[in-house]
Amino acid sequence: MPGAIATGAVCAATLGLAVGGCAYASLWPTSQIFGRTLIASGNGDEVALTFDDGPNDAATHQLLNVLARHEVRATFFNMGDYARAKPEIVREVVAAGHVVGNHTMSHPKMSIESATRIRQELTDCNAVLEDITGEAVKFFRPPFGARRPYVLRAARELGLTPVMWNVTGYDWNPIGVDRILANLDKGIAKNRLRGCGSNLLLHDGGHRAMGTARTDTVQAVDRLLSAHRATATRFVTVDTWVRE
Ligand SMILES: [Zn+2]
């Protein structure tokens, strides 16, 4: 079993498993109905930036520059197909101290795929990432947040902790920097009021094609980090929320 997984419904360490779980009982994507997933801690000052669908030669490097300037580490859920095409970007991400997780090879909708395909997507992505980084992959985010019991079970059998989120940037829509930032601010504030940490869903890539523009995301992250510079907010990687 991979370490601990956040518990649902309450912001407290329960079952002796989690550092502290923060999840709504029934709302997607924080629903725990299909099995427990890691979301966030019970510390409202903790915020995890997570980036899906990379590596992306049009955005990841710019994002790394912003994160480095603010001395912040983040979590990147990479697609195996893209990682194989751009291994140097994955190496750059890991060398900068960020966490890299599994986002499948090709981004299928896993809630409707066969068990064989699901397992293959997970195993192949792990193999590609581990070959590039030399490190075991420990985290998995299901594409589209789609999951069913088998998806989570297959992930855990491969030593992967499934990770969802509780703040959505909606940065895959062309909504502009201000609205992405407003989505993040609103979510963080709401979680803080509930005494929950925040797990921010953002994208450094696009699952439809390598080279997707993410300039707005990069700028929104820069502004978010600037705004939180002198506050109690602590930006963490998702492994912070799991204990052996
Ligand atoms: Zn994705």
CA of 105 to the centre of ligand 1 (A): 11
Model pTM above 0.85:
yes
Decide if 203 is catalytic: yes
Handedness of CA 139, 114, 200, 202 (dihedral sign): positive
pLDDT of residue 5: 47
Q: Other C-beta atoms within 10 Å of 239: how many?
A: 17
Select from 55, 122, 120, 121 the least CA-distant residue to 85.
Answer: 55
pLDDT of 244 over the 80 cut? no
CA of 231 to the centre of ligand 1 (A): 30
The torsion angles phi and psi of 102, rounded to 5 degrees, stand at -90, 130
Average pLDDT in the chain: 87
The torsion angles phi and psi of 107, rounded to 5 degrees, stand at 65, 45
pLDDT of residue 82: 98
Q: Could you report the per-residue pLDDT of 198-218, keeping only the tens digit for each?
A: 999 999 999 999 999 999 999
pLDDT of 166 over the 50 cut? yes
- Choosing from 98, 203, 207, 228, which is the catalytic residue? 203
pLDDT of residue 30: 56
Q: Could you report the per-residue pLDDT of 39-89, keeping only the tens digit for each?
A: 998 899 999 999 999 999 999 999 999 999 999 999 999 999 999 999 999
- The amino acid occupying position 145 is G
Task: For residue 79, give both structure tokens.
Answer: 């697609």
CA of 144 to the centre of ligand 1 (A): 6
Q: Could you report the per-residue pLDDT of 17-40, keeping only the tens digit for each?
A: 333 455 433 234 555 655 678 999
